[in-house]
Structure 1
Amino acid sequence: MSVTLPLPLTLSVQDKNILRTAAYGAVSLLSAADAAGSPHKIAIHGSLALASATGPVGHVLAEKSKIGNLNGKSVAALADQVLPALTAAMGLLKKQAPGEADNFRATIDVALEAASRARKGEPTPAMTAMTRKITEALDAA
């Protein structure tokens, strides 16, 4: 029995930055949406979930490089960076490796769920709305 391995995913430095900005930015947005609650716990749990990613996406997310544009002065400024990055990341991966697009989407979904469960009680309405916006950005590609 032979096993066919997928073609390697070739990503530029800019492509990798888009993926990291999208993934860690999604967690940052969800954390910012619960600023009065447990934003640090949300960020930690979401980031730990991202660290569990596998495959080429997991390798990109595990790289120890600075993510430059996640310091918005407001949630709106952060969203202006992250939501387009989510759409761009999905478009890039769908074009180069559809299986990795599915992996990236699943990774973001797990991170958002882990982040949401980090707070006591149900997610706030703002967190629910932010999750919907993140999902819409992923689906826009």
Structure 2
Amino acid sequence: MKKAFAIFLAFAALSISASELRVTVPLLSKHYFCASNQCLDLNETNLGVGVEYASYGVIGFENSYSRQSVAAYKRFEYDMNPYMGLGIRLGGVTGYKEESGMDVVPLAQPYLRVLPIDWFSFNIGVVPVGLIDTKNYNLVVTIDSQISF
């Protein structure tokens, strides 16, 4: 969490265009297709903080195994109308070495963006976990919120 806050402050100190900055707050996740009730032991409250600028983002959060993770990504998004959009985050995430054997695992997170008001949105995403931990579960649905400046 300290790393995420430091990253947030670094981005906040930049002189940036208002429409290109988003602050992201990861909220929760739900794990599906679990082997022998393994999902019961997973953390589904994934609080953290992140920032996006010009479609590039960094998020620090508590992952499903209650370990600190940092994700870095590039966002691609399509606005279907003023209140809804489709997107995907592509990049890498730390914190899953015990499950995957890798320091950084690939991240591919498609999501639906819902904008109840023009500066605030919820992102409902899915993360196929093929490289992280297919022994315990196969899919994670995530929810995060974003404030646009």
TM-score clears 0.5:
no
Structure ranking higher in helix proportion = 1
Class of the TM-score when normalised by the shorter of the 2 chains: under 0.3
Structure number with higher strand proportion: 2
